[in-house]
Each structure stands twice: as C-alpha cells, then as structure tokens.
Chain A
Amino acid sequence: MVRSYRLLVISACMVFFCLALAGNASATVELYNKTIEMGDGYQINNYVIDVTDVFSDANTASFYVYNNNNKVKEFLLSTGDSFEFDFEGDAKVKVTLLSVGSGTLPVARVSIVISNYKISDIYMNDIVDGGHKYATYSGTPNLKITKTVDKSEIGVGDLVRVTVTVENIGDDRAVDVIFQDPQQAKFVLYDTFVTHTGQTTVNVGESKTLFVYQLKATESGTYPLLPTTASFSNTASLKFPQASSNSPVVTVGASESLVSAELEFTTTLDKYTVNRNDDIQGTIKIKNNGDTPATAVTVSILVPDGLDFKGGSGIETISGTPTIYLESFGVQQEKEISFTLKAADVGTYTISSKISYLFNNGVDTQLQQVSSDSVTNSIYVTKGKYDYLFEQPLYMYAAPLIIIGAIAGWIFYRHKQYKF
C-alpha cells in the first residue's frame, strides 16, 4: 500500500517534471543540417563543435567540442552514427554524421540537434571559420554597484556624502555601460566631487568610483536613497538586465526646538572723508547666522540730501528709496551688495538702513517678522580738490596749460631733430 502510494507520488512528480520541462524548454530542434569543412566548427552559444578530421575513405570524421575555448569532448563518428553531449543546464546536443565528402577540402555533412533547451536562449548558432579558435565567446559581466553614505543619521540642513562605486565581478567585460543616478527627493545636491556621464566600459575585475557628492537634507524623515542603475552589454553585444545598487537608508532627524533666522547686516563705505564730487563705494553685507531660512528680506537705504545715490547691483529705487528685496535667504548664506554714492554737497552725513524679514520658527504656524535699523559712521564731505579752479578766472589755468603744451611741443621738436 505504502509502496504503491510512493510509486504514485513518484510518477506524479515525473509527470509534473516533464510538463514543467515541456512548458519551459522546447522540445527537440535541429539547428543545422549541412556540410562543415574540415577545420571549421559550429558554434552554439559558447560551445563550438570543431570538425577536426574527415576521413573520406573510412567514412568517418572526428569532432572536438569546446566550451568557452576549453575542450570538453572529443569523438569519432562513422556515417550514420550520432554522439550526444551535455549542453547548458539539462540540454543536450546530438551530432549525427550524415555523410563525408572529399573536395578541395574534405567536408562532413552533419545534423546538429538540440534538445531540452529554450530556443530563445540561443543567441549564437553558426559556422565558425577556422574552428573554436576564431569563435567569439560570450561571457556574463556582472556589475556590482555599491552606494554608501558617510552618515546614516543626520539633522535637517546637514550634509551627507554619497559614494557610488562599481565593480565587475563577472567573467566578461561590460560595454556600453550607462549609469543612472536618480535625483533624491527631500535632499538637495549640495556639492559634487566626482560625477559620471555617457557610455563607458568596465573590465573584468575592474572597480571604479562613479559618483561622490554631498546631499543636504531638507526635511526630516527616513529615506532609502534611490539605487544607482546601470544598463550594459557584454563583448558579444548581448544586452543584460539592468544592474542596480543597494539603497542605503538615511534618517533625517527633525529639530524639535525653536528655530530662527538671524540676519546680520553691516554697511561699510570705502572712505568716510571725501572731497565734494567724489564717489563713495558702499557695501551691504547680509549673512544668515540663524538656523532657518529667512524670507521677504527688505533693506531700504535712506540716503540723506547732499549725497546722491548713483546705483548698485540688485538695488531698485522704489518711490525714491533704494531698496534691496530678497525672496529668501538660506541658512549661513552670505551676500554682498555694493552701491555708489556721490558726494554732492559739503557736510557731515550718515546713511541709515531699514531692514525687515520673515521666518518660520518651526513651532508657530504664522511667520515671524523681524525689523531693525542700522546707521553708518559719519561721512565728511569736504571742499573738492579742484573746486578752487572753478573759482579762478579762465586764464589762471589756461596759462599753465599753454606753457606745458609749448614745452611738450619743444621737446618733441628737439627729439625729432636729434632722432637718427
């Protein structure tokens, strides 16, 4: 009873197995039925069947079988005989010598039949002129892409350094390799040290660094970094499935406490004592010393009468007041804005600025507003260097000019006279 049950189980398994095989692998297919010249071979994927000798008198031929350039079988067939050898997996290849013929080169007519193999997996079957030595073997490149991070736990605004390397641990060169490193949500690319574009090749055993960059976390949470992928082919131009890196996980901790934007303003001038009509170069330096970005940063420069505002980069004059407006101003960001004033009248002046900005303190929902004032040191505008000239009658400066002109003319005349 037990025995017949076991028999039943076994036969059921065998049926299942056969069905499975039949579903997966095709049945028997004749790949070739033609002549092969002595010395040539027939390649099926990485196997090559070389016709090494044809003895037309004896109606025999000898064959060597190579797998990836290594000899695995050799056999001699008489016409009508067959030989079967193991192919990839469970597949078998049967070689039957149909006839031999003598020409300039002796030929063997053979039938090559493959069984137990999925025909679509055959990427190569053809005569190889000159036999196995001239066959192109196809190996399997295996790209191992590794993505590492220098820290796995950081806070918002912190930097994490990502390094992506690749190593070919397969047995064939990977060609036409295209790497793709997707953008990472919730992080901004802060700095790039190593990057990679275009197609490349990775040799067997070779490893290289593809990307090194720093990401800045913008929001708290736990984020697996998206894998870097590579599409590639082997040397026989066979495409392989995309290789993918690991996904290191970065946990970005939320800062619980209150945050604030602290903008520091300094206004400096290149000189504080000037002659009338001279220019003054001013520089407004803004820096966010806080731990959250500021928005709607507005600086109004109040220029007193007696000084003229002549312009500056990024400064707009809004209803008579030179104004700087910055939509947002990041943490630790620094900016210098310069402007030019002209000293129009003699006197002592200061320049004051009105400053305001908003920020989110991380706790309250509404934005916080900050405003402040700043005043420069005094500017002393004195009488212009050449002012007295305008107070002099014309001849006072025309006369020296005429004299200088005359002297220059004379020197030039003399120079010409003595120049040989």
Chain B
Amino acid sequence: MLNILIVGNGQCGNRILDAINREAFGKKSRFAKFYSQQKYKSNVQTIAINTAVNDLREMKFTKAKDRIHIPHLHGVGANRNVGKHVFDENKTHIMRQIEERGHFDVCFVMTSASGGTGSSFTPMLVKELKEKYDYPVYALVVLPFREEGTLYLQNAAFCLRDIRESGADGIILADNQYLKQMGGNVESAYNGINDMIARRILFLLDALDSEMMMVTDLGDFKTVMSGGAGLATIGFYEAESELPVRGAIQKALSPSGLLFSTDVYEEASRAMIIIRGDRERLSIDEISTEVEKLSSAVGHVFKGIIVRDGELPQVLAVLTLESASELESLYAIAVDAIKQERDKKDRVANVKEVDRAFSQIDGMDPSY
C-alpha cells in the first residue's frame, strides 16, 4: 500500500483537492461524507494551504484538520513576492504539519500558476520537501484563462519557471483556457475542470496501487515523468455506452480527453496508458494496435490493464512532453504582459515625479 500526500495550495489548489476528496466518496451528494467512506486504496493524506480563510471555509469534503490557514489578510492579492515572503515566515509551521503525517512514497502539489498564494507557495514548498525527503514530488499546475489579465499571465510564467527550478520531479499541466470548452459560467466551468482533474488523479492513484494483472506501478510512473522536458499532462476517457476499447484509447488522447492542448503524437516523449474495464470488453488486439501506434510516434509506452467486472472501458494516459507549443505561445503572451506591467510601473514612477514637483513648495506660504 502506498502512502500518498496531496497538497492543494491557494484557492484553485484547495478546490481541486476538495474535488478529489469528494470524488473519493464515490457519490455526488454533498451529504456523502455523512454516510459514506472515502475509497482510497492507498493511505492518502490531503492538506489544503491558503492565506484566504474563506477559500478554506468553502471546502466541504476535506477534514478540518487538513486545512491549514496561514493568516495574511485576505490572501496575497496575486502578488507572488508577498506570497513568497509569507511562505518563508510560516515555513516551519507548514513543514511541521507535513512531518506529522508520517512517511510518504509520493507527493502531489496542486496549484494555479497565476494566483498569488498557490503560485508562490508551491515552488517553495516543493523545494522544502525535496530538501527534507527523498520521495518524488509532482506539481499539478493550472494555467490561467488567457484573458484573465497581464498580472496572471506574468505570474504563470514565473511560477512555472520557479517550479522547474525547485527540484520538482515533474509538472502536470492543466489549462483552464483549453478546458474552457466545458462551457457554462465561470463557477460551473471551474467545477467541471476540477472534477476532470480529480477523476484523473483518483484513477491514477488507483492504478499505481493496483495488484492486478499487467499493472503499472509507481516506478513506471516515475520513469514516464522523468522523460521529456519535465512537463506532462493527463488524458482520460470513460465510455458511457458500449464502445470498443480502441475508441476509448483514441478519445483519451484526443483534445476532449486531455487537460492541456497538445498533439500527443507530435509532442509526447513518454507515455503510460492504463486501461480498466470488464475482461470481455478489453480486446488485447485492439489495445496492442493503439499502444503500438502511440509508441511508434513517441517512444516507450507503459501499459497497464485493470480488470473490473461489469465496467465499461476507461482509459487514462499520462504523457510527458518533449515540447509544448502551447506553452511557448503562453510565454510569448506572458513576455508582452510583463512588459506591459513594467511600463505601467514606469508610468506610476512618472506620477511620483509630479509629486516631487509639488514637494518643492512644501512648507512655503504664498505671499501677496
């Protein structure tokens, strides 16, 4: 049995974590926690960290003792510098909380790249974890909607770089922009995206700790994640009606199945595919054809099959990326955003010069 730690930083991280905890109850009802037990196969510990107490309060399926409030007014207001400072001040407190949870085999840290709290806490937390422990730490990072403004884009760019430099064993990308297809208002889009992520993570955890035939394990996952440019994403498809397993694999690798926009046959460098369902429905021939198609384009593909009686085919694909054209275009906009922000700051500095003009008459009185 694996010991798994999942940390959610900032509002986005908290909410995804809560979605995972809800998904683990298996039921959609908000009262599930009263009559149901979480179905984690492994020993899963979840910790939510935030500066905004309201974000923590909104969580419904995460135990109170798992929510850590770092008091700092009402969040850090998308300012990563403030966020880093606040993390530094509370580092020992946070690390002690993690220490108390015991030993882990793997850790996932979830955050948005563009806010203040999550995006600044995550790289620093990863760094601390890596220094202190020897288990792999993966970051799941949510990229902003492109139209959310220059500050968010700038934060996203720096956050990703910081996480890369923190020693994280891999970054799993989820892109709000790309998942915008969910539609609905922002709130329901967020919930939809969070559910997608939660379902994938749970499926992954389940697969890593399975003792069934042809399994993939944590070792395989580590290998996949260490390939490519340290960036990864996850694809998933769950058949809702009778569908050949080949179709399910294709859908998992298609835009509607992925968390981040990429052409897997072009940009992926390693992959892991986990297929679950009723023995009858999992045609080894179809699976082999599809996996071979992918590995001929990508390289090594780890393959796992979990047999569950009566279940329709479900496919999860973890893909590390060699290149990410989408990320490059994000950085291109981010560079513009950073320039814009700097210009704005310069303009504000000019206003300060106007103040200096006024200050010349400080202490004087007009004479007539």
A residues touching B (Cβ–Cβ < 8 Å)? Answer: 410-411, 414-420
B30 CB → nearest A CB, Å: 11
Q: Is the CB of A420 within 8 A of B56?
A: yes
The answer to whether residues A411 and B34 also contact, given A417-B63, A418-B64, A420-B67 and a CB cut-off of 8 A, is: yes
* B61 interfacial by beta-carbon distance below 8 Å: yes
Nearest chain B residue, comparing its CB with the CB of A417? B63
Contacts of A418 in B (CB 8 A): 33, 60-64
Contacts of B39 in A (CB 8 A): none
Which residues of B, 244-294, contact A by the 8 Å Cβ criterion?
none
Contacts of A416 in B (CB 8 A): 64
* B342 interfacial by beta-carbon distance below 8 Å: no
Nearest chain A residue, comparing its CB with the CB of B62? A418
Nearest chain B residue, comparing its CB with the CB of A411? B34
Q: Is the CB of A420 within 8 A of B59?
A: yes
Q: Is the CB of B64 within 8 A of A414?
A: no
With A and B bound together, what is the CA distance between A416 and B34 in angstroms? Answer: 11
Over the window 39-75 of chain B, the binary record of Cβ atoms lying under 8 Å from chain A Cβ atoms (1 yes, 0 no) is: 0000000000000000011011111110100000000
12 more CB-based (< 8 A) A-B contacts, given A414-B33, A417-B63, A420-B56: A410-B34, A411-B34, A415-B34, A416-B64, A417-B64, A417-B65, A418-B33, A418-B63, A418-B64, A420-B57, A420-B59, A420-B67
Contacts of B57 in A (CB 8 A): 420
With A and B bound together, what is the CA distance between A290 and B115 in angstroms? Answer: 89
Contacts of B67 in A (CB 8 A): 420
Interface pairs A-B: 3 shortest CB-CB = A420-B64, A411-B34, A420-B67
Q: How large is the interface on B (under 10, 10 to 19, 20 to 34, 35 or more residues)?
A: 10 to 19
A413 CB → nearest B CB, Å: 10
Q: Which of B34, B59, B62, B65 touches A414 (beta carbons < 8 Å)?
A: B34
B70 CB → nearest A CB, Å: 14
With A and B bound together, what is the CA distance between A419 and B63 in angstroms? Answer: 7
With A and B bound together, what is the CA distance between A12 and B63 in angstroms? Answer: 127
With A and B bound together, what is the CA distance between A169 and B326 in angstroms? Answer: 104
Contacts of A415 in B (CB 8 A): 34
Over the window 197-230 of chain B, the binary record of Cβ atoms lying under 8 Å from chain A Cβ atoms (1 yes, 0 no) is: 0000000000000000000000000000000000
- The 21 listed contacts between A and B (C-beta, < 8 Å) are A410-B34, A411-B34, A414-B33, A414-B34, A415-B34, A416-B64, A417-B63, A417-B64, A417-B65, A418-B33, A418-B60, A418-B61, A418-B62, A418-B63, A418-B64, A419-B64, A420-B56, A420-B57, A420-B59, A420-B64, A420-B67
B24 CB → nearest A CB, Å: 13
Contacts of A420 in B (CB 8 A): 56-57, 59, 64, 67
With A and B bound together, what is the CA distance between A418 and B64 in angstroms? Answer: 5
Nearest chain B residue, comparing its CB with the CB of A415? B34
B12 CB → nearest A CB, Å: 18
With A and B bound together, what is the CA distance between A410 and B36 in angstroms? Answer: 11
With A and B bound together, what is the CA distance between A416 and B63 in angstroms? Answer: 9
With A and B bound together, what is the CA distance between A416 and B57 in angstroms? Answer: 13
A39 CB → nearest B CB, Å: 59
Nearest chain B residue, comparing its CB with the CB of A416? B64
With A and B bound together, what is the CA distance between A275 and B65 in angstroms? Answer: 52
With A and B bound together, what is the CA distance between A417 and B57 in angstroms? Answer: 13
With A and B bound together, what is the CA distance between A419 and B60 in angstroms? Answer: 8
Nearest chain A residue, comparing its CB with the CB of B36? A414
Over the window 310-347 of chain B, the binary record of Cβ atoms lying under 8 Å from chain A Cβ atoms (1 yes, 0 no) is: 00000000000000000000000000000000000000
Which one of A415, A416, A417, A420 has the greatest number of beta carbons of chain B within 10 Å? A420
Which residues of B, 51-104, contact A by the 8 Å Cβ criterion?
56-57, 59-65, 67
Contacts of B56 in A (CB 8 A): 420
Which one of B34, B59, B64, B65 has the greatest number of beta carbons of chain A within 10 Å? B34
With A and B bound together, what is the CA distance between A410 and B33 in angstroms? Answer: 11
With A and B bound together, what is the CA distance between A419 and B65 in angstroms? Answer: 9
Contacts of B65 in A (CB 8 A): 417
Contacts of B33 in A (CB 8 A): 414, 418
B59 CB → nearest A CB, Å: 7
B37 CB → nearest A CB, Å: 11
Contacts of B63 in A (CB 8 A): 417-418
Which one of A410, A414, A415 has the greatest number of beta carbons of chain B within 10 Å? A414
Contacts of B34 in A (CB 8 A): 410-411, 414-415
With A and B bound together, what is the CA distance between A410 and B34 in angstroms? Answer: 8
Nearest chain A residue, comparing its CB with the CB of B69? A420
A407 CB → nearest B CB, Å: 9
Contacts of A417 in B (CB 8 A): 63-65
With A and B bound together, what is the CA distance between A158 and B62 in angstroms? Answer: 81
B261 CB → nearest A CB, Å: 36
A408 CB → nearest B CB, Å: 11
Contacts of A411 in B (CB 8 A): 34
Which one of A410, A415, A417 has the greatest number of beta carbons of chain B within 10 Å? A417
A63 CB → nearest B CB, Å: 69
With A and B bound together, what is the CA distance between A363 and B338 in angstroms? Answer: 115
Contacts of A410 in B (CB 8 A): 34
B230 CB → nearest A CB, Å: 35
With A and B bound together, what is the CA distance between A352 and B42 in angstroms? Answer: 78
With A and B bound together, what is the CA distance between A112 and B59 in angstroms? Answer: 105
With A and B bound together, what is the CA distance between A420 and B62 in angstroms? Answer: 9
With A and B bound together, what is the CA distance between A420 and B66 in angstroms? Answer: 9
With A and B bound together, what is the CA distance between A420 and B54 in angstroms? Answer: 10
With A and B bound together, what is the CA distance between A333 and B193 in angstroms? Answer: 77
Nearest chain B residue, comparing its CB with the CB of A419? B64
B27 CB → nearest A CB, Å: 14
